[in-house]
């Protein structure tokens, strides 16, 4: 049953929630709970009289009290648990606190700490958020969705938990990722929390540690595979379309083969995208666009080594390839500048391990003729760097210290300003640190990492690196697609988003080596991305016919600000 609906008083124009629950039920609803901020009138009319201490505190006072409590927590995991509890109690207070302390708290609610939390989720879970779809309840998906209390659902983040960050199969403990992504949609994009829904498809796990753990709360069976798995996903998507027509569906942290298959199968059937493929690729592309400006170079004048050809690596490579073709290169000429390295080494044509999306990236065997190799049967990263002379080095492998001092120094030989994107999360999985890059390149490297790193003091200078976080892309893409009522999310929308992000990096920031805007400006970044997506959707006939200023105004109006609004008691109608 819906617990509230947003209304506008026709006489005064006042916005308010018409609330359908009372007393303890109201206090236990995180969408609605104001705690000590309920007014005297609301306490009387909503059955709260006597349930709260007499003092009435405004949001600012609550923020002071809450932030003090946050600072008292002894470590990051306790801070994660505390913030999760706050989210479960009072969403307005949680999101305002997060908005006010974004740089400090995003690493707690998302990377890198969310990875640690997912590893222990069954042991630290206090309350359940979102929806768990399983083989046992998929037949009742309509009833599951109808049991939601929020007024509507416009945005869904879904995972099956098989590839959580760089940590692998965490089963239903992977729910920490959709919950975290929804928090970023709200904090960064301004999407209202009342229309967001995190979902986990719990189809079992192949992680023996979880199967043996008596405290694990997910399904204790090997993962569903093949036709049965695909049928469950199909029923899930159909259920979303029936119950939430027009909602955006974001695929998150699926295994590589599943991710590409789902994206291809559903991108034209339902408003959807895959953040690991498209979001990561677009964020990295934005960083590279800025790097090209700093270097006064073109994409076609660089050489790229990308290590780790899963979803993220393939997405990044395809974005670079698109830019090379936009600069006039043929498919073969673009291929010659991108050296893709995976578990089997350099991807070569004819390799039986090649998968569909990797084929356009595989080098012809003639390209390595004459290379000096340590092992002719396996062309590893050291061989590629030594022979291909890259100027851009990108890692998405979850292998810490993969980019050794030797590899970084070799890359620095071939360009005055090497670009290094070490993008694996969480922090301890990063391919190298910014400090390592600066030491190996004499402070000339341009660096972005997946998790945040502190500034580095080097030869009397303070050197900065950017956090290449998908947070720059997906909240704005989702907001823009919803505001402009897009019917599909296209590659062109992500390209427009990349350009919008890079354009926000100021000359002063470029001079400091930053490749992306600062995290404190993330809501403005999301607004710019949403506007760019709306314009692209309009121009290709998939969005509303508004001019540029109207799109910008619609985006700004759609961005929710966490604040308490008045409540009035009501009785739900059957059509609510």
Mind telling me the catalytic residues?
A: 110, 181
What whole-number distance in Å separates Cα of residue 84 and Cα of residue 98? 12
**Location of structure tokens 């938990």:** 161
Decide if 160 contacts 259 (C-beta within 8 A). Answer: no
Decide if 153 contacts 248 (C-beta within 8 A). Answer: no
Conformation bin of residue 402: beta by default, left when phi > 0, alpha when psi is -120 to 50: alpha
Q: What is the dihedral of CA 259, 472, 171, 115, to 10 degrees?
A: 140
Decide if 420 contacts 408 (C-beta within 8 A). Answer: yes
Structure tokens that stand for 340 in this block: 């893709």
Pairing label, strands 419-422, 446-449: parallel
Total length of the chain: 576
Decide if 32 contacts 88 (C-beta within 8 A). Answer: no
What whole-number distance in Å separates Cα of residue 431 and Cα of residue 424? 7
461 alpha-carbon distance from chain centroid = 32
What whole-number distance in Å separates Cα of residue 184 and Cα of residue 471? 7
Residues 6+ apart with CB under 8 A from 561: 190
The residue among 155, 251, 238, 153 whose CA lies nearest residue 200 is 251
Decide if 507 contacts 554 (C-beta within 8 A). Answer: no
Decide if 3 contacts 60 (C-beta within 8 A). Answer: no
Conformation bin of residue 442: beta by default, left when phi > 0, alpha when psi is -120 to 50: left
């Amino acid at each position: 049953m819906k617990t509230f609906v947003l209304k506008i008083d026709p006489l005064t124009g006042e916005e308010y929630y018409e609330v359908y629950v009372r007393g303890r039920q109201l206090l236990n609803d995180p969408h609605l709970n104001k705690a000590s901020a309920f007014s005297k009138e609301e306490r009387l009319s909503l059955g709260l009289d006597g349930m709260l201490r007499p003092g009435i505190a405004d949001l600012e006072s609550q923020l002071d009290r809450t932030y003090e409590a946050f600072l008292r927590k002894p470590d990051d995991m306790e801070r994660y648990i505390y913030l999760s509890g706050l989210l479960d109690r009072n969403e307005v207070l949680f999101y305002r606190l997060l908005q006010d302390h974004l740089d400090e708290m995003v690493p707690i609610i998302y990377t890198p700490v969310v990875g640690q939390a997912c590893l222990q989720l069954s042991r630290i879970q206090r309350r359940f958020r979102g929806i768990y779809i399983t083989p046992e309840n998929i037949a009742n998906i309509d009833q599951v969705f109808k049991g939601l209390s929020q007024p509507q659902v416009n945005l869904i983040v879904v995972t099956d938990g098989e590839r959580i960050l760089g940590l692998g199969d965490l089963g239903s403990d992977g729910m920490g990722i959709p919950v975290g992504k929804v928090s970023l949609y709200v904090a960064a994009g301004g999407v209202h929390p009342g229309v967001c829904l995190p979902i986990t498809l719990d189809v079992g796990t192949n992680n023996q540690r979880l199967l043996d753990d008596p405290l694990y709360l997910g399904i204790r069976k090997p993962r569903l595979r093949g036709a049965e798995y695909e049928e469950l996903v199909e029923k899930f998507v159909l259920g979303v379309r029936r119950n939430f027509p027009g909602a955006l569906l974001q695929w998150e942290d699926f295994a590589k083969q599943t991710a590409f298959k789902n994206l291809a199968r559903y991108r034209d059937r339902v408003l959807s995208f895959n953040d690991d493929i498209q979001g990561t690729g677009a964020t990295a592309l934005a960083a590279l666009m800025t790097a090209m400006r700093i270097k006064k170079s073109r994409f076609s004048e660089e050489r790229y080594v990308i290590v780790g050809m899963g979803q993220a690596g393939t997405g990044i490579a395809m974005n670079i390839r698109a830019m090379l073709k936009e600069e006039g290169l043929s498919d073969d000429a673009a291929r010659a500048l991108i050296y893709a390295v995976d578990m089997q080494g350099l991807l070569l044509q004819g390799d039986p391990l090649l998968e569909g999306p990797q084929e356009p990236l595989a080098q012809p065997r003639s390209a390595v003729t004459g290379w000096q190799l340590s092992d002719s049967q396996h062309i590893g990263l050291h061989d590629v760097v030594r022979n291909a002379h890259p100027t851009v080095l990108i890692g998405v492998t979850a292998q810490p210290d993969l980019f050794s001092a030797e590899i970084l120094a070799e890359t620095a030989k071939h360009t005055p300003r090497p670009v290094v994107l070490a993008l694996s999360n969480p922090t301890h999985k990063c391919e190298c640190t910014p400090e390592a890059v600066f030491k190996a390149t004499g402070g000339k490297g341009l660096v972005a990492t997946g998790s945040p790193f502190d500034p580095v003091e080097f030869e009397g200078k303070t050197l900065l690196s950017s956090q290449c976080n998908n947070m720059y892309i997906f909240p704005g893409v989702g907001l823009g697609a919803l505001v402009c009522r897009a019917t599909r999310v296209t590659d062109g929308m992500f390209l427009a988003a990349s350009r919008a992000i890079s354009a926000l990096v100021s000359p002063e920031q470029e001079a400091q080596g930053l490749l992306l805007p600062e995290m404190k400006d993330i809501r403005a970044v999301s607004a710019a991305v949403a506007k760019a997506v709306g314009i692209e959707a309009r121009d290709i006939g998939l969005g509303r016919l508004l001019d540029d200023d109207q799109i910008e105004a619609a985006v700004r109006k759609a961005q929710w600000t966490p604040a308490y609004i008045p409540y009035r008691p009501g009785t739900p109608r059957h059509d609510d």
